[in-house]
Amino acid sequence: MSLNLTPLGDRVVIKPAEEEEKTAGGIYLPETASKDKPFKGEVMAVGRGKLNDKGERQPLEVKVGDKVIYSKYAGTEIKVNEQKLLIVREEDILAIH
Amino acid sequence: MSLNLTPLGDRVVIKPAEEEEKTAGGIYLPETASKDKPFKGEVMAVGRGKLNDKGERQPLEVKVGDKVIYSKYAGTEIKVNEQKLLIVREEDILAIH
Amino acid sequence: MSLNLTPLGDRVVIKPAEEEEKTAGGIYLPETASKDKPFKGEVMAVGRGKLNDKGERQPLEVKVGDKVIYSKYAGTEIKVNEQKLLIVREEDILAIH
Amino acid sequence: MSLNLTPLGDRVVIKPAEEEEKTAGGIYLPETASKDKPFKGEVMAVGRGKLNDKGERQPLEVKVGDKVIYSKYAGTEIKVNEQKLLIVREEDILAIH
Amino acid sequence: MSLNLTPLGDRVVIKPAEEEEKTAGGIYLPETASKDKPFKGEVMAVGRGKLNDKGERQPLEVKVGDKVIYSKYAGTEIKVNEQKLLIVREEDILAIH
Amino acid sequence: MSLNLTPLGDRVVIKPAEEEEKTAGGIYLPETASKDKPFKGEVMAVGRGKLNDKGERQPLEVKVGDKVIYSKYAGTEIKVNEQKLLIVREEDILAIH
Amino acid sequence: MSLNLTPLGDRVVIKPAEEEEKTAGGIYLPETASKDKPFKGEVMAVGRGKLNDKGERQPLEVKVGDKVIYSKYAGTEIKVNEQKLLIVREEDILAIH
């Protein structure tokens, strides 16, 4: 899937994992009521990073294709070609798996 | 449309998308009750950027003509020549599409 | 009108627009109940700017005579020679028109 | 009046204006219930300024003798030789007139 | 146990101590109702650290294999191969023992 | 009185003024219900100052023996050899008199 | 007592003073209901300090063996070999005596 969407700053576009991927790699994310409940997904696009005090962009740690565990608490849902996607800040990504 | 309006700092003037553009490019923004609900629009004018600690303006990532997805939560509505426009901070722009 | 008033730091003295100027330049500011409701006015005096970390004053973007759109939410009203004026921070000025 | 009182950091000692000075210079400060209500006064003493990141004192913009408009919201009242004075931060001074 | 999980930034993956380890090394963590109640565990993976203002990663103090005392207040629970793990920020680790 | 007590960082040890000193130097501190009510006292010991970003201690403005006006709102009371003392941050000292 | 416990960052391990030490050195800490109530103790271990913006550890002011006055408000209690200890940030230590 080619994605025509460039997130700004330290934002990342994530495709949430399908049901069958939810235990892939032996990783299981418990159901909780917490607003910080973690989810699995794949990075579809990354921003150029935030500007530091020297006026340079700070490149992100994640790259397109990374499988990640993220919190969607502060994310924004959109739909591109019927696919649900999420725009989050890299801050909301906990780990790469 | 020539726009006689220069936003200050990291502010951006956005023209909200018309009804018929709302699914352009296959991008669809779900209706939600969230205060961070995303919208589509076009960048009409950009500020010179915020000053960094060295006294330099940090240029914005977006430019005039960019089609963007933004949150209007903290924006200010104005009308120029009967056209509704919105002044937001670049921070409130999620992505370019 | 000569104004004997020097705002400190990043503050700006603004003369609110008269009724008849409120649609000048084709710009119309909708009536809202929002505390961030925008207003039109003219810059009468500007401060020398805030000090940055190097001990230098960061000059303001606006200058005397600029027609501006501002939010008066955090401003302070005073009267000079029967003219109502407002002291705001440059942060509260959205755009020059 | 010689004042034996040295404010610390970015603090300033102000002598509030007498009744008869309250419209001096054509400047009138409306009565409001706002906690940020402005007042007129004269600068009696200034601090050496805050330290910046380089360990240097950032000198104040106001100097002894300046007539100022200030907000006393966060100020501290003291009495020196029966004269009411106010210790405020320079931040609380809006303008010199 | 080889762990296929890379935490981002200053995050750390911790394996909580088993019951029998809870008094190992003579260290005992009292039961309290406090949300900051401390726990024992072992570091399984560490992030590359946060970026500083110069664009460099600030390496973590803890390393894989360290036995630590941590607060799980702000942590996120996941399960990898039936093993409960916790993703916390290094900030939430109090000490190495 | 020799004081065997070294405050840390930007903290200062103050001996509150006795009743008879409360109008010394013509300075009178009005009784108020404000939590920021000012008090008079003498500096008994000073810390080495806070570290700045360059790893240097920022020396305090006050020195041992200074007569000061301070707010005890955030201070901590202790007793040394039956003498009530107060440990405050230099930030809570308004002026030297 | 040798302590096998290394606090992280700017944290410090403190052994609270015994009853008989509570007036040692003529220092008496009044009983109050305040959450910032001060306590006496001895420093058992210190962290390597926080990283500054240049990536250097900022060494602590206190060292092992120092007798200190501290606030335990934000501290964490643990027990090592039946001895109650407290892990606090150096920020919570008011003075060395």
> Cβ separation of C95 and B13 shorter than 8 Å?
yes
Residue G95 host element (H or E): strand G93-96
- Chain F residues with beta carbon closer than 8 angstroms to that of D5: 27, 69, 95-97
Q: How many Å lie between the alpha carbon of C94 and the closest alpha carbon of chain B?
A: 6
Encode pLDDT of A33-92 as tens digits: 676 789 999 999 999 999 887 788 999 999 999 999 999 887 999 999 889 999 999 999
Q: How confident is the prediction for chain D on average, in pLDDT?
A: 89
Q: What is the pLDDT of residue A15?
A: 96
| Closest residue on chain B to A5 (Cα) | B97
Among the ranges given (D63-67, D74-78, G93-97), the one the predictor scored with the smallest mean pLDDT: D74-78
Q: What is the pLDDT of residue C46?
A: 98
CA nearest neighbour of B89 among B26, B47, B52, B57? B47
Tell me the DSSP string of A55-79: S-EE--S--TT-EEEEE-TT-EEEE
Q: Does pLDDT of D13 surpass 80? A: yes
Candidates G25, G53, G95; nearest CB to F8: G95
How much is the average pLDDT of F73-95? 93
> Cβ separation of G54 and F51 shorter than 8 Å?
no
Among the ranges given (A35-44, C18-27, C80-89, G68-77), the one the predictor scored with the smallest mean pLDDT: C18-27
Candidates E58, E91, E94; nearest CB to G55: E58
> Cβ separation of D87 and F95 shorter than 8 Å?
yes
Matching residue, tokens 């009696």: D44
Q: What is the pLDDT of residue D32?
A: 75
Q: Does pLDDT of B1 surpass 60? A: no
Matching residue, tokens 């960094």: B52
Candidates G4, G11, G77; nearest CB to E97: G4
- Which residues lie closer than 8 Å to A70 by C-beta, 6 or more apart? A14, A38, A39, A40, A41, A86, A88, A92, A93, A94
Instruction: Tell me the pairing of strands C6-7 and D93-96.
Output: antiparallel
Candidates D7, D53, D79; nearest CB to F94: D7
Let me know the angle formed at the C-alpha of G55 by G66 and F6, rounded to the nearest 5 degrees: 20
If pLDDT is split at 50, 70 and 90, which confidence band does F96 have? very high
Chain D and chain A touch, per 3+ beta carbon pairs within 8 A: no
Domains of chain A: 11-96 (2.30.33.40)
Which of G94, G96, G97 best probes binding to F when mutated, by most F CB atoms within 10 angstroms? G94
Q: For residue E81, what is the DSSP state?
A: T
Rounded to 10 degrees, the C-alpha dihedral A62/A64/A68/A72 comes to 90
Structure tokens that stand for F95 in this block = 């002026």
- Interface confidence, given as ipTM, is 0.89
Q: Does pLDDT of E1 surpass 60? A: no
The Cα B41–Cα B43 span in angstroms is 7
How much is the average pLDDT of E15-39? 81
How much is the average pLDDT of E16-45? 83
Q: What is the pLDDT of residue G51?
A: 87
B neighbours by CB contacts (3+ pairs under 8 Å): A, C
If pLDDT is split at 50, 70 and 90, which confidence band does A29 have? confident
Q: What is the pLDDT of residue B11?
A: 97
- Which residues lie closer than 8 Å to E33 by C-beta, 6 or more apart? none
Which of F94, F96, F97 best probes binding to D when mutated, by most D CB atoms within 10 angstroms? F94
Residue F76 C-beta-side C-alpha neighbours within 13 Å: 26
Encode pLDDT of C19-69 as tens digits: 777 777 788 888 776 767 899 999 999 999 998 877 889 999 999 999 999
Q: What is the pLDDT of residue B22?
A: 72
A29-38 burial by CB neighbour count: b if 16+ within 10 A, else e?
A: beeeeeeeeb
Matching residue, tokens 């391990």: G13
- Chain C residues with beta carbon closer than 8 angstroms to that of B76: 36, 38, 71, 94
How much is the average pLDDT of D5-13? 97
Q: Is pLDDT larger for residue D2 or for residue E62?
A: E62
Q: What is the pLDDT of residue C51?
A: 87
Structure tokens that stand for D9 in this block = 């950091």
Q: How many Å lie between the alpha carbon of E77 and the closest alpha carbon of chain G?
A: 22
First to last CA, chain C: 21
Size of interface B-C (CB pairs under 8 A): 63
If pLDDT is split at 50, 70 and 90, which confidence band does E72 have? confident
Candidates B27, B52, B61; nearest CB to A48: B61
Q: How many Å lie between the alpha carbon of A29 and the closest alpha carbon of chain E?
A: 5
> Cβ separation of B32 and A79 shorter than 8 Å?
no
How much is the average pLDDT of G3-24? 88
> Cβ separation of C25 and B8 shorter than 8 Å?
no
The Cα A32–Cα A38 span in angstroms is 9
- Chain C residues with beta carbon closer than 8 angstroms to that of B53: 52-54
Q: What are phi and psi of D30, to 5 degrees?
A: -60, 145
| Closest residue on chain D to C87 (Cα) | D94
